[in-house]
Amino acid sequence: MYLSKNTCQPPQEEDIPVCIRIQLSHATVKDLHSRLQHAYQRDDVRLVRRITVLIDLLVHQVPVAVLCERWGLSRACLYNWQKAFLLRGIDSLVYGHSGGRRPKLSSRQKKRLVELIEAGPLVVGCETACWTSVLIRVLIWREFGVLYNCQYVCTLLHNLGFSFQKARFVSDHLDAAKRLAWLQDTWPAIVRAAKRCKGLILFEDEASFAQWGSLSYTWARRGRQPAVPTSGKRKGYKVFGAIEYFSGRLFFQGIEGRFNSANYQAFLQMIMAQTTAHLFLIHDGARYHTSASTQAFFLAHSERLTEHPLPSYSPDYNPIEYLWKKTKKRATHNQYFKEFAVLTVSVDKALTYFATHPDTVLGLFGLYCEESGLELKQAA
C-alpha cells in the first residue's frame, strides 16, 4: 500500500484526520477480501465487521460519518482500526477469543425478520424469488449485523414458524367471495344434510400416473445425482377416486382409456353399488362432470346422489388432491416402469394401502371441521 498527499481539496470535517488519501495496492485489496471470506466461514462476526468497514473506508472511500452511523461506531474506534491497519497491515486483523454467547436477535428484530421474509426476496432486493438459508443469512447480517451459520439459520427459521416448502400455483381468476361462501355457508349445510339422513360426503377427483414415472428429492452422495431409468412412454394410468368425510373410506377405479362422462358415471355406479346411503358428491368443474350426459345421470339418480360443485379454481379445497400426492410418493417417485402393467400394480397397491388405513385419509381433511378432529381454517 502507499499514501499520497491530497492537496487538491480542503479536508472536510467528516474526513478528518484524512488529509491524506490512502490508496491500497491490488494485492492488499485482494488479501483483505480473502480475510473477509475466511472470517465469514468461521462466523467471526467482529472480524467481518472490522474488515468490511476498512474496505468501505480505504477502498470505496465511504465517508467516516456514514460508516459511524451505519455500524454504530465512534470516530475514535474507526480511526484506531485504520491506524492499526496502516501500521501493521493484515496482521492487525486478529481478535483474541473473547468467549461469551453468540450474538442473538432481539424479539423486535425477529419480528422484523419475519416481516422481511414474508415480503419475499424480490421485495428486499434479491435477484431471485426463492428464499434459501444462505440468502436469509445474508439478510440477517445486512439488516441486523448478526452473522449465523446456515445450520443455525434453519433452526431459527423453524423456531419462527417457517418450514421449507415448495410453492404452488394459484389461479389469478380466484373468486375470494365464492370461496369464503363455500366454507362458511355451503359446506356447513352439506354436513347438516348428510347427518340428518346418515349420508356419505364424498370428495371426488381424478389423477393420471405416467409410465415414465416421477422424480423426487432423496438422499445421495455429494456429486452423485441419482439417475432413474425411464422408458419415455407417455402412456398413463388413469384413476377415479373419492374419499368419504366421516369415515375416511376410499373408493377408486383405474382405467386405461381417457377420462370421459361414460367412465365417470360408471365409477359413480360402482360406488352406489357398494352402499345404500345417500351420496353428497363434491367435485370440480371438469368437462365430464358438467356434461349434459352427466347432468342427466344426476337427475336420474337424484334420490341417491346430490352433487355440489366446488368453487372454480379451488383444487386446494379438495382433500383428495393430497391423497394423489401421497400415492405418487409411494407408487411412482424415482421408480422405473418398463411395462405398463408394472405401473398399474404399483399404483393399485398404494391406493389399496390407503383404502385399508382410513385414519391416514381422515388426516387429509385439515381444511374442514371437527368430525375429522381438525379445525376449520378460514381460507381466502
SS3 for the chain is CEEEECCCCCCCHHHCCCCEEEECCHHHHHHHHHHHHHHHHCCCHHHHHHHHHHHHHHHCCCCHHHHHHHHCCCHHHHHHHHHHHHHHHHHHCCCCCCCCCCCCCCHHHHHHHHHHHHHCCCCCCCCCCCCCHHHHHHHHHHHHCCCCCHHHHHHHHHHCCCCCCCCCCCCCCCCHHHHHHHHHHHHHHHHHHHHHHCCEEEEEEEEEEECCCECCCCCCCCCCCCCCCCCCCCCEEEEEEEEECCCCCEEEEEECCCCCHHHHHHHHHHHHHHCCCCEEEEECCCHHHHCHHHHHHHHHCCCCEEEEECCCCCHHHCCHHHHHHHHHHHHCECCCCCCHHHHHHHHHHHHHHHHCCHHHHHCCCCCCCHHHCCCCCCCC
CA–CA dist 312, 178 (Å, integer): 9
Q: Whole-model pTM above 0.95?
A: no
| pLDDT at res. 41 | 66
Architecture per CATH, domain 176-214+228-372, reads as 2-Layer Sandwich (3.30)
| pLDDT at res. 298 | 97
CB-CB neighbours of 330 under 10 Å: 15
| pLDDT at res. 317 | 94
| pLDDT at res. 103 | 56
Query: What would the grid cell of residue 245 be?
Result: 368425510
Domain parsing of the chain, residue ranges: 2-92, 107-159, 176-214+228-372
| pLDDT at res. 26 | 81
CA–CA dist 135, 38 (Å, integer): 18
Q: Which of 10, 121, 14, 112 has its CA nearest to residue 61?
A: 14
Per-residue pLDDT of the chain (380 residues; tens, 9 = 90+): 434 433 334 334 344 344 356 778 888 888 888 888 777 766 677 888 888 888 888 888 889 888 888 888 888 888 888 888 888 888 787 665 444 555 588 999 999 999 999 999 999 888 888 999 999 999 999 899 888 888 899 999 999 999 888 787 777 778 899 999 999 999 999 999 999 999 999 999 999 999 998 998 888 888 888 999 988 888 999 999 999 999 999 999 999 889 999 999 999 999 999 999 999 999 999 999 999 999 999 999 999 999 999 999 999 999 999 999 999 999 999 999 999 999 999 999 999 999 999 999 998 998 785 433 333 433 33
